[in-house]
Structure 1
Amino acid sequence: MIKLHHLNKSRSKRIIWLLEELGVNYSIIEYQRDSQTFLAPPELKAIHPLGKSPVIEDDGLIIAESGAITEYLINKYSNGQLAPEKSTTDEVEYSQWIHFAESSAILPLLLKMFVNKDGCDTNFLADYADTETFKVISYFNDSLADKRYLVADKLTGADIMMSFIVELVANSGQLANFPHISAYAKQLATHPAFQRAENIELGN
């Protein structure tokens, strides 16, 4: 059975969604953030030296990093679903979105979040975070024009990875400014496995 080390209010919620979509047997080991620092508890370091989540255990392997986990699970368990056909242009685009989620997209959003949380005046960082956030989210929004999903007109791991970016945009109160992302968010929410993951995250 797959074990998912899951931290509340973290990127690991999308791994719950993926596991639900795959229909595999799994268990969740839950961790709670510190109420003051909002950091992960030290117990996670017993699983992986960085003490981050998500981490999965499967067949003796310990795998960290959301993109790597997503690719591993889809390659092993999806039976050709949740990914485009191999050696196609769709596969190339799929791979780009998988990695975009945890590289170009996430960095400015996290910078913006940290600047806001810190509350201090900055000489450079706040304006940089604002500019880069608008750039990457506008790119994401424009890429969804006339699309239900990012690649191949079907749900793939790219959508599951990018769902966390959608959540951050929504939590920032900016979703209405990006109509294609807003429509995309509603489309993702139609999936029963997405809804089950939401309920699991909320403890329902």
Structure 2
Amino acid sequence: MIIVHHLNNSRSQRVLWLLEELGVPYEVKRYERDATTMLAPPELKAIHPLGKSPVITDGDKTVAETGAIVEYLIETYGQGRLIPAAGTAERLRYTYWLHYAEGSAMTPLLLKLVFTALPTRAPGLLKGLIKAVANKAQSSFIDPQIKAHLDYWDAELGKSAWFAGPQFTAADIMMSFPLEAAAARAGAASRPRVKAFLEAIHARPAYRAALKRGGPYDYAS
């Protein structure tokens, strides 16, 4: 039996969703973030040395990192589902978006989160200075980077209904987190095709079933 070590409001929600799409039985072991630091609890280190989520255990196998988990589940349980045929243009696009989601897409969004939080955690005497530095970093570098990615997503979704082509794939599951995070932090839902993509994934029965299994998820609508 697959066990998903699931952290609230995290990338592991995508793993639950993929398992629901595949119809693979699984169990959920829940972990809650520290209310102050928003970090994962130390108990996760008993599963993986870095103490981060998502992590799955499948028998004697432990698999970490969302992209690696998705590839493992598709290869082991997919039976050809949610992945384009090898050698096709759609397969190349699928591979690109699968890795882009946690590479290029998440970097500026993580920086946005960090620089937004910095002033609230600064010592009183330094709060004003740190706020000015954080605002400058966002306006001069982070926000333009995010805008470039938002424009890119919207343009790419104009080429096909889903990121890898006309059919829904696991690449769309991977891309859901950066798009949902950007909608919450950076106004991504103002892009019409991005908004349509989010509405489409939120309406999928497997997505809704994963929410029931995983519990509250701030990025869902």
TM class, shorter-chain normalised?
Answer: over 0.9
| d(CA) in 2 for partners of 1:59, 1:86 | 28
Structure 2's unaligned 5+ residue stretches are 120-130
- Alignment CA distance shift 1:203-1:110 (3 Å): closer
| d(CA) in 2 for partners of 1:185, 1:165 | 11
Q: Residues 139-184 of structure 1, C-alpha deviation per residue, up to 9 Å, x if partnerless?
A: 1111001532112311111000001012112212613421110011
1:38-187 matches, within 5 Å, as: 38-119=38-119, 120-122=131-133, 125-126=137-138, 127-172=140-185, 174-187=187-200
TM-score (norm 1): 0.94
Q: After alignment, is 148-157 or 115-124 more displaced? A: 115-124
Q: 1:105·1:137 contact (CA, 8 Å) conserved in 2?
A: no
Three-state SS of the structure 2 residue aligned to 1:18 is helix
Q: 1:148·1:187 contact (CA, 8 Å) conserved in 2?
A: no
Structure 1's unaligned 5+ residue stretches are none
Q: 1:4·1:27 contact (CA, 8 Å) conserved in 2?
A: yes
Could you say which residue in structure 2 is the equivalent of 1:10?
Answer: 10
Which is helix-richer, 1 or 2? 2
Q: 2:146·2:186 contact (CA, 8 Å) conserved in 1?
A: no
Query: Which one has a bigger Cα radius of gyration?
Result: 2
Q: Residues 70-120 of structure 1, C-alpha deviation per residue, up to 9 Å, x if partnerless?
A: 011011111111000012111111000000000000000010111011123
| d(CA) in 1 for partners of 2:211, 2:48 | 25
Could you say which residue in structure 1 is the equivalent of 2:36?
Answer: 36
Runs of 4+ in structure 1 deviating by more than 6 angstroms, as ranges, are none
Identity %: 43
TM-score (norm 2): 0.87
- Alignment CA distance shift 1:94-1:57 (3 Å): same
Q: Residues 111-133 of structure 1, C-alpha deviation per residue, up to 9 Å, x if partnerless?
A: 01110111233276322211111
Q: In structure 2, give the amino acid aligned to 1:191.
A: R
RMSD: 1.6
| d(CA) in 1 for partners of 2:87, 2:160 | 22
Using the TM superposition, give the Cα deviation of residue 199 of structure 1 relative to its aligned residue in structure 2, in angstroms: 2.4
Q: 1:84·1:94 contact (CA, 8 Å) conserved in 2?
A: yes
Could you say which residue in structure 1 is the equivalent of 2:202?
Answer: 189
| d(CA) in 2 for partners of 1:188, 1:203 | 17
Check if 1:201 corresponds to 2:214.
yes
Q: After alignment, is 26-35 or 129-138 more displaced? A: 129-138
